[in-house]
Structure 1
């Protein structure tokens, strides 16, 4: 009976550590290496070079949090659970890629993983390879307007692909639509992959969009309109400022 009592006491203690403080969730994290310690330009979210340097290279690939691309651009606070090695604050990272590890939710960039450690303890933490962590979703604070980048694969004027950049707050982009003036209707865009939305034969006029935004926690959804966000003579690879910030 004493053994069972001890067992259940340990289970309750673990639950308190994982879920008892500000909604942190238990998981595991590892890291991937790159020559410059930044992210990768070939990430599954479609961010390209933006996905390498964002958050000063503190980026991550995720598995189940990827959610078919809806999780791209989400921000998380991640902290590990080795008191002698891990800082109290941990690291703040943004999702730019998909990746699966050894029962891990996060595959952090080298810079992101290093921020988990106390000062002068980075090497010891890297030696673990995989660490137990706890994480929670946090709002993204970019201090930048939302940008709509015309993906490099776009072909003017017959094919348009859009990548939203600097998505702020804690909302996810669930859907993206473009206004068709001659039909007076919103045309849905396809989520091609990650956070890349595309459409064939887009309208030829200056383009207005609306995004459906939802909070992961309570599924509260809202529509945000971006009027005249992209000119009619748009060009592949160019980023257009929407003059809008989502908090």
Structure 2
């Protein structure tokens, strides 16, 4: 699916990576919510698949993750979400377990997918929740050797549960928008450990450390792309603060963007 129209044309051509695990400073006492996948917590949803049978659904999609979907840790185990899952882009990065039982080819075992795209119409509006999964993820719900049979089933009813995101071996990182400059800074936020989705993103400049309110709110541009426009030249190094959508947990990566930052480059988080 093509990303929606947005304010910065350069964002269409650039991928930005913002990898988050535990190599960041957790600056609140809010703990991860206890997300269970016990039988009593499974909810019904619709499910379809798109793209190639063994692919990642799209080349990036409405969350702006670019060409990372087929690579670890996503490894094509991704899904577009209907409105209640995509949440106008705020649901990007959230993780779910999905399982099917109604078809003879279903294994009944859950698979974990990440919301990386939007499913805006058609069957995605027919149920309260809908997963338009990659061909790889949809086939993974099948018993051994029956993935193609399951993919031929059409629209199915599945069960799903929200779960914590886990990306072992991947540190918090930022890939800066190719169109960023001293007055405009943008990143895509990706692989946030735990909740996965984000309610707010803020930036702190080096020159703001002594201010009473040093954190500048970034705007959600589209999908998982967050941006900051400034009338004054932004002074790096930058720290980034995330607030998660599900549990209101805050995470700070101090001075993650160095004073020598360049558009299109990726910077990993500092730890302390």
Same fold (TM over 0.5): yes
Contact 1:173/1:212 (CA < 8 Å) preserved in 2?
A: yes
More helix by percentage: 1
Alignment root-mean-square deviation, CA: 2.1
1:71 matches 2:91:
yes
1:127-166 correspondence to structure 2 within 5 Å:
127-143=152-168, 144-152=170-178, 154-166=179-191
- Secondary structure at the counterpart of residue 75 of structure 2: helix
Question: How many Å apart are 1:41 and its aligned residue?
Answer: 2.4
* Contact 2:93/2:196 (8 A) holds in 1: no
What secondary structure does 1:137 align onto? Answer: strand
Map of 1:28 onto structure 2: 46
Q: 1:181 Cα shift?
A: 4.2
Q: Does 1:221 align with 2:248?
A: yes
Number of aligned residue pairs: 221
CA positional deviation for 1:236: 2.1
Q: Report SS of the residue matched to 2:61.
A: coil
Higher RCO structure (Cα 8 Å, ≥6 apart): 2
Matched position secondary structure for 1:49 = helix
- CA–CA distance in structure 1, aligned partners of residues 53 and 42 of structure 2: 32
Say whether 1:240 aligns with 2:267: yes
Secondary structure in structure 1 of the residue aligned to 2:260: coil
- Deviant stretches of 4+, over 4 Å: none
Q: Do the aligned partners of 1:147 and 1:166 also contact (CA within 8 Å) in 2?
A: no
Unaligned runs of 5+ in 1: 1-18
State the distance in 2 between where 1:205 and 1:120 align.
53
Shift of 1:243: 4.2
**1:126 to partner: Cα distance:** 1.5
Residue pair 2:241, 2:252 contacting (<8 A) in 1 also: yes
Task: From the superposition, tell whether residues 111 and 35 of structure 1 become closer, same or farther in structure 2 (CA, over 3 Å).
Answer: closer
Q: 1:7 maps to which residue?
A: none
Q: Structure 1 residues 123 and 51, CA, compared in 2 at 3 Å: closer, same or farther?
A: closer
Report the Cα distance in structure 2 between the residues aligned to 1:97 and 1:195, rounded to whole angstroms: 10
Distance 1:78 1:111 in 2: 13
Q: TM-score if structure 1 supplies the norm length? A: 0.82
Sort the Cα spacing of 1:70 and 1:118 in 2 relative to 1 into closer, same or farther, 3 A: same
When Rg is computed on C-alpha atoms for both structures, the one with the higher figure is 1
Output the CA distance in 1 between the equivalents of 2:270 and 2:139: 34
Q: Cα–Cα, structure 1 residues 162 and 214, in superposed 2: closer, same or farther, change >3 Å?
A: same
